[in-house]
Amino acid sequence: MTTSSGFLFRPLARSLAFAFGLLLAAGLATAQPAAVVEDDELEASESLAAEGLPVLREKPSKTLRFGYFESAPTRMRERLLEPTVAALRKAFPGLRVELVRVNEFDLQLGVVERNFDLFLVSSGYYTYLNDAGSGAIRLATRKSPVTTSALKGVGSVFVVRTEDEKFQEISDLRTARVAATGHYSFSGWLTALAEVANITQYPENFFGKTFFPGGPSEKVIDLLRSGRVEAGVLTTCDLEAMQLSGDVRPDEFRVLGERTVEGFACRTSTKLYPDLVLAARPDLPDEWAKRIASVVLAMATTHDGWGWSTACQFLDSRRTVNQFAGVMTSDKTNDAATERYKYALLIGFLILAGSVGYNVLVSRIVANRTKALVKIIDEKTELEESDKENRTRLSQLERAGIVSELSSMIAHELRQPVAALVNYADGLQLYLGGKGKDPMIDEATREIAKEAERVSEIVERVRRYAKQKSQVHAPIDLCEVTKRAFTTFRSSTDQTGVRITSDFVEAAPIEGDPLELELLIVNLLKNALHAAQKSPEGKERLAIRLFADGVLSDDPRWVLEIRDNGAPISEDDFKNLAHPISSDKLEGLGLGLSICRVIAERHAAKLLFRRLEPYGLCAALSFAQRRDAGPTSLNDD
């Protein structure tokens, strides 16, 4: 039975498998006779007995398989393991002793599956085997040249790239990408987590992402060099071994959280734990185990420090393994907790999905209703604004009607006073004419009579206009009407400091009411003068121009433009020019532009406004041209 990662059996499974193996072995032992030792083996056994070693009486197998792992290139095989195998072959001359190197994961898997008779494993994995119930027979503890005590033989070291200055302490690795040999490795991962446990209560979640490439430590170094990870976790002395072999430059990596441990030659970031343990499978014959232990412990330490020790204090290793047993034996592809609670997780997921769906549905309904409510409120606001504007226009029309009635009444009442004024002026002129010539008095009486006649003429025209029951337009000359309006404007307003220019065509025949059009033009000229008085230039300018437009088109027109250089107006004020509802003049009633627009519409004319650059405004009146008859005099009744 094999798996992809971790120690494949949970404690209960291992115990059952071990018990089944023992029963099977017992059954085979009862079913087969014990093997007889050959003559040459008996002679070797007798010679060993003479040396005080136990005598081998039976031989369960022809091969003794010795498994080990090495995470970095060292001289352990040459200096320690091969001499040990030679001594075992001498102690078991009839057996074939095999020395097998595998990676750490395959070694642990082979131990569980009983593929090795002897195995060199970490002290953490050895305590795990004993606590799990599968068992192992401890024979000796390795003692390497880098330490003076086998109880302080291995640990972990955190390394980063030398140029990576953002990592100075182990605590700086929070949320960093980290690589280690494997989650099953005691000195390559678990002892590092034990050190991180001094920083956080949840060391398994300390790093951002962890990578476990498996195999030797060179794979961790490759990930670190490529930039895929920011830090690496190595077994102590692996970094020095790769530097000695030339695989790593001395200045290529830095060690984080380095500790100084007396009697230990390598660099470490964690506390130290007992070195590798030489153990035997639990069903190995006692005589074999005793003889192997005797042979191994009887070996002298080499001149460069390799040897075997009886060190057996594994309390720290057991504590670390118990703390991180779940990490050590985790199976990423088939987690037992997930399998156990999968239905509960599924129900929880469905409830969560339903809750999210319900929230989304409710949010959509609320959004739609809110949108409809906002639309209703906007429509209500628009109706209120429209109603307000209509009420304002109605009030304006009522005021215009009142002004019209008052104008008619005033025109009627002014007839007799104006006629009396004319008569008095004529009488005064006759009276003074017989008493000597005075040029000043003659000029004054003539002007009084002239202006009184003009007032009388205006009053009469207003009366005639008020008595009209229907709209009557006669052929007129727009150029003559414009000149008349221009004269009225100049005589009724103060143009001091105002530069006024005019440009008229010779004749502009149209159909219309001359009084209405004169009132329209005078009003536009007064508005232009009022705007020019606020000119940013400080110099007021007005321009009036009458010209033909679209002569070659099907709808030729006469265009009257009145321009000023007044101050710029706001966008709202410009929009209000189309539908004026108030006046910005202190003496104004807010009816001027409204009357102008009404008069323009009565004459099928277009009244438009446009902004001038950089400032100023242009009011343009456009009339259809009349071509079938010549213009008539304005004096015609």
Q: 10 Å Cβ neighbour count for 532?
A: 25
Do the Cβ atoms of 142 and 276 come closer than 8 Å? yes
Higher pLDDT: 405 or 123? It is: 123
Verify that 236 and 295 share a domain, yes or no: no
pLDDT at 582 exceeding the cut of 70 = no
Whether 632 maps to a domain, the answer reads: no
CA dihedral 483, 488, 490, 491 (to 10 degrees): 140
Q: Quote the CA–CA distance of 161 and 148 in Å, as a whole number.
A: 30
Name the token pair of 507. 């004749």
| Residue where a domain stops, chosen among 300, 334, 368 | 334
Domain containing residue 591: CATH number: 3.30.565.10
105 alpha carbon, distance to own chain's centre? 43
Verify that 322 and 361 share a domain, yes or no: no
Whether 76 maps to a domain, the answer reads: yes
What's the confidence (pLDDT) of residue 491? 75
Higher pLDDT: 280 or 7? It is: 280
pLDDT at 390 exceeding the cut of 80 = no
The β-bridge partners of 259 are: 268
Maximum average pLDDT range among 343-347, 446-450, 491-495: 343-347
Whether 267 maps to a domain, the answer reads: no
Whether 1 maps to a domain, the answer reads: no
| N-to-C CA span, the chain | 125
Verify that 613 and 499 share a domain, yes or no: yes
Verify that 521 and 541 share a domain, yes or no: yes
CA dihedral 184, 190, 192, 198 (to 10 degrees): 150
What's the confidence (pLDDT) of residue 311? 83
pLDDT at 456 exceeding the cut of 90 = no
| Residue where a domain stops, chosen among 256, 289, 313 | 256
* CA-closest candidate to residue 622, choices 518, 552, 547: 547
Q: Quote the CA–CA distance of 137 and 492 in Å, as a whole number.
A: 128
Domain containing residue 221: CATH number: 3.40.190.10
User: 436 pLDDT band (50/70/90 cuts)?
Assistant: low
Q: 10 Å Cβ neighbour count for 453?
A: 14
pLDDT at 41 exceeding the cut of 70 = no
pLDDT tens digits, 462-505: 666 666 545 667 899 999 999 988 888 887 777 778 888 989 99
pLDDT at 334 exceeding the cut of 60 = no
Verify that 162 and 243 share a domain, yes or no: yes
- Angle, in degrees to the nearest 10, between helices 478-492 and 514-532: 50
What's the confidence (pLDDT) of residue 299? 92
Average pLDDT over residues 226-242: 94
pLDDT tens digits, 176-200: 999 998 888 898 899 999 999 999 9
Q: Quote the CA–CA distance of 268 and 188 in Å, as a whole number.
A: 12
* CA-closest candidate to residue 140, choices 158, 162, 124, 118: 118
Residue 629: exposed, middle, or buried by beta-carbon count in 10 A (0-12, 13-18, 19+)?
exposed
Verify that 27 and 52 share a domain, yes or no: yes
Q: Quote the CA–CA distance of 223 and 161 in Å, as a whole number.
A: 11
Residue 176 is given by DSSP the state: -
147-151, 269-273, 294-298, 411-415: least confident range = 411-415
| Mean pLDDT estimate for the chain | 79
Whether 464 maps to a domain, the answer reads: no
pLDDT at 409 exceeding the cut of 80 = no
Verify that 114 and 78 share a domain, yes or no: yes
How many residues are listed for the chain in this entry? 637
Number of structural domains found in the chain: 4
Whether 457 maps to a domain, the answer reads: no
Verify that 394 and 490 share a domain, yes or no: no
Verify that 424 and 531 share a domain, yes or no: no
pTM (global) more than 0.85? no
CA dihedral 301, 306, 311, 317 (to 10 degrees): 180
Verify that 243 and 287 share a domain, yes or no: no
Whether omega for the bond prior to residue 282 falls within 30 degrees of 0, making it cis, is no
Q: Quote the CA–CA distance of 521 and 484 in Å, as a whole number.
A: 10
Verify that 144 and 293 share a domain, yes or no: yes
Residue ranges making up the domain that contains 351: 343-439
Which percentage of the chain shows pLDDT scores above 70?
A: 78
Maximum Cα–Cα distance across the chain: 186
Residue 222: exposed, middle, or buried by beta-carbon count in 10 A (0-12, 13-18, 19+)?
middle
Q: Quote the CA–CA distance of 266 and 249 in Å, as a whole number.
A: 16
Whether 634 maps to a domain, the answer reads: no
Q: Quote the CA–CA distance of 559 and 524 in Å, as a whole number.
A: 14
User: 452 pLDDT band (50/70/90 cuts)?
Assistant: confident
Whether 87 maps to a domain, the answer reads: yes
Which residue shows structure tokens 């120690």? 7
| Residue where a domain stops, chosen among 315, 334, 353 | 334
Q: Quote the CA–CA distance of 487 and 478 in Å, as a whole number.
A: 14
DSSP 360-372: HHHHHHHHHHHHH
Higher pLDDT: 24 or 323? It is: 323
Name the token pair of 435. 């008493």
Verify that 140 and 164 share a domain, yes or no: no
